[in-house]
């Protein structure tokens, strides 16, 4: 991470994945969601660990909206002593026509760390929503606010320096979620390399916004990112 050419951006990502209530290993009577398969079909996302040995994407559902500053400061304070270098970003989950403010957590080593991390946030003044009576499970649209560390390997093409096999490319305009879904289906159905996961988002750059698409593909390469960008740009009118 010492390369001075790396770029740091703040931005947003919007994607869809299936979430379900996590009922074990959480602080009593708190609402926690997990994404058991955040990249459907990509069973080797953590190839050096069995898939079921660690939490992949965990969402702590919050009692109210907290500012980016509040969550960032709380996370920064916890990271000073927590045993794992976890990643946490604020976001919003839309499921069953309801919206929940969340903290998305990644890179925990085991499910047993979840309640300890929740205790850390509570110690920082963050309150969690109580678990609903009914188990929640279904497709959710998720928007997260996050910081990116990127390597621009070619103009408008970026590799993520934190998340493996994640690439980004700039697009010329903002797309609605439904338009993005439609284009993604057309790309996948008309290409011999359709096995990727896509999300839409933007970077905040020089007091403006650059719209982009994030691609996850095992063994991501510059050639693959070029190809998938070409397929998308052909369909963005």
7-25, pLDDT tens digit by residue?
999 999 999 999 999 988 9
Q: Compute CA distances 135 → 19, 55, 101, 149, 157, whole Å.
A: 11, 18, 18, 36, 40
Q: Phi-psi region for residue 34, left (φ > 0), alpha (ψ -120 to 50) or beta?
A: beta
Quote the pLDDT of residue 48. Answer: 44
Written as six digits, the tokens of 163 are 């998340």
More confident residue, 172 or 52: 172
Give SS3 for 182.
Answer: helix
Side-chain half-sphere CA neighbours of 214 within 13 A: 22
> Which residue's structure tokens are 């609903």?
132
Could you tell me which residue, 224 or 219, shows the higher pLDDT?
224
pLDDT higher than threshold 90 for residue 38: no
Can you tell me which residue has the tokens 């439609």?
A: 182
Write the CA distances from 152 to 127, 162, 183, 225, integer angstroms. 38, 14, 24, 12
Contacts of 104 (CB under 8 A, 6+ apart): 57, 58, 59, 88, 89, 90, 91, 142, 144
- pLDDT of residue 141 exceeding 90, the answer is yes
User: How far apart are the C-alpha atoms of 163 and 30, rounded to whole Å?
Assistant: 28
pLDDT interval class at 2 (50, 70, 90): low
pLDDT of residue 24: 87
159: exposed, middle or buried (Cβ count in 10 Å: 0-12, 13-18, 19+)? buried
pTM above 0.85, yes or no: yes
Q: Is the predicted pLDDT of residue 193 greater than 50, yes or no?
A: yes
Give per-residue pLDDT as tens, 151-172: 999 999 999 999 889 999 999 9
Residue 62 scores a pLDDT above 60: yes
Give me the pLDDT at residue 43, please.
Answer: 45
For the cut 70, the answer to whether the pLDDT of residue 123 exceeds it is yes
DSSP letter assigned to residue 130: P
If you average pLDDT over every residue of the chain, what do you get?
91
Does pLDDT of 51 surpass 60?
Answer: no
Cα→Cα distances 83→71, 97, 114, 154, 164, Å: 19, 37, 12, 37, 22
pLDDT score of 50: 43
d(CA 95, CA 110): 26
C-alpha to C-alpha distance for 20 and 207, rounded to whole angstroms: 37
pLDDT of residue 46 exceeding 70, the answer is no
According to the model, what pLDDT value does residue 237 have? 78
Residue with tokens 């770029």: 7
């Amino acid at each position: 991470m010492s390369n001075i050419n790396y770029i740091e951006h703040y931005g947003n990502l919007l994607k869809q994945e299936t979430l379900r209530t996590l009922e074990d290993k959480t602080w009593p009577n708190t609402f926690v969601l997990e994404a058991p398969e955040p990249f459907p079909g990509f069973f080797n996302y953590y190839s050096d660990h069995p898939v079921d040995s660690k939490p992949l994407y965990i969402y702590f559902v919050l009692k109210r909206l907290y500012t980016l500053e509040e969550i960032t400061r709380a996370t920064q304070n916890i990271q000073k002593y927590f045993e794992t270098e976890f990643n946490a970003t604020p976001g919003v989950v839309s499921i069953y026509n309801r919206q929940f403010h969340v903290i998305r957590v990644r890179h925990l080593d085991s499910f047993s760390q979840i309640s300890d991390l929740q205790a850390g946030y509570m110690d920082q003044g963050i309150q969690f929503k109580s678990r609903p009576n009914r188990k929640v499970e279904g497709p959710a649209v998720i928007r997260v606010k996050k910081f990116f560390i990127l390597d621009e390997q070619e103009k408008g093409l970026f590799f993520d320096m934190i998340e493996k096999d994640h690439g980004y490319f700039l697009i010329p305009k903002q797309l609605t979620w439904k338009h993005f879904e439609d284009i993604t289906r057309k790309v996948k159905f008309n290409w011999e390399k359709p096995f990727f996961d896509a999300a839409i988002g933007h970077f905040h750059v020089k007091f403006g916004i650059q719209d982009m698409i994030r691609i996850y593909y095992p063994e991501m390469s510059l050639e693959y990112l070029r190809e998938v960008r070409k397929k998308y740009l052909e369909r963005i009118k």
